[in-house]
Structures are given as structure tokens and as C-alpha cells.
A = this chain, B = another copy of it.
Amino acid sequence: MQRCSDKWPTKALKRHEYFPYRDMKMKDYSLEPIGFIRSKIKKRKDAPSFYTEGAPNAVLEVKSKYTEGLSQMKVGDEIIIITWLHRAYRDVLKVHPRGDTTRPLTGVFLTRSPDRPNPLGLHRAKILAINANNVSIGPIEAIDGTPVVDIKPVVEHSNDF
């Protein structure tokens, strides 16, 4: 389906058009991976804490049903990748940042710890090559097999993300 606007439609719509997912259990907050990371990092203990700390390049293998969503992507683009950190603990609410026990226990929402109630990872990377549904990106600290749930552009005029 294509829509001509990324804004909510302003013309009057029937109620079932406003809530197309009402019957699809939108309340379930259920994600579907759009692809997976293929990396030489195989284990969580080998992953750097952040992409600026020696992370390698990797391949983002996008499922063929979603490749249309990559339309207009160019080599050199900066993107933000949202991953599902499949090896994380979801019952953790406080950690010592970076495992440094001299730092006070800190709420996970103030850290980039993978252990958190909803194990979403945020990664900024550059597009290095595009071959159909295989997108070379880097650097990225995600481990091999990490599910990818979304890709967004870096919005340059905001000077941050």
C-alpha cells in the first residue's frame, strides 16, 4: 500500500479506516523483524559497548517483503537502526554503568545497557553498499543474528538524531 502523505489524512474517513489495525490486535505491541544483522561478532561478550569503540562493519539483511521500504537509499546515507537485543535480560532496572562498580547503580533508562524492560537497541551507522536486500553498514556493535525492527534516517537539521 502506498500513501501520499506521512500526515494523518485530513479528509473525513470512516471509523474502520481510522483504525485499520483494530482487528489486528494493535494493542499487542508486537514487532516483526524486518531483517537481521550479519556480523563477525558472534557473542555478546565480544561486542563493544558502543559503535564508536572499535565496532566492525556488518551486513543488514532485509527481508524481501520489506525491500521496497529501502527505496531511494543511497551509499553514504547515515541511518539509525533499531534492533531487538535478543540476548538481553528484561527484568533489570538498575545497573552500574559500563559494569564499573565504582559508579552508582543507575536506572537502565539512563544507560545504554542492553538489559532493560523492552530490549531495543539504537545504532547509528553509515550505508557502505547496497546489493538488493543486503545493505552493508558500519560501524555497528550488534552481534550476529540480531533482529532489526526499524530503520530511520538521521535528520541532519536537528543536529542530533
27 contacts between A and B (CB under 8 A): A2-B92, A3-B92, A5-B96, A6-B95, A6-B113, A6-B115, A8-B43, A8-B45, A9-B45, A10-B45, A21-B89, A24-B90, A29-B84, A29-B149, A51-B158, A52-B158, A66-B117, A69-B93, A69-B109, A71-B107, A73-B110, A82-B82, A109-B150, A124-B160, A124-B161, A160-B160, A161-B161
Provided the pairs A10-B45, A73-B109, A161-B124 are in contact, do residues A3 and B154 lie with their beta carbons within 8 angstroms? no
Q: Look across to chain B and name the residue whose beta carbon is closest to the beta carbon of A73.
A: B110
Chain B nearest CB: distance from A148 CB in Å? 9
Interface residues on A, range: 35 or more
Within 59-92 of A, Cβ neighbours of B (below 8 Å) are at 66, 68-73, 77, 79-80, 82, 84, 86-87, 89-92
Residues of A contacting B: mostly: loop
Provided the pairs A66-B117, A94-B71 are in contact, do residues A50 and B80 lie with their beta carbons within 8 angstroms? no
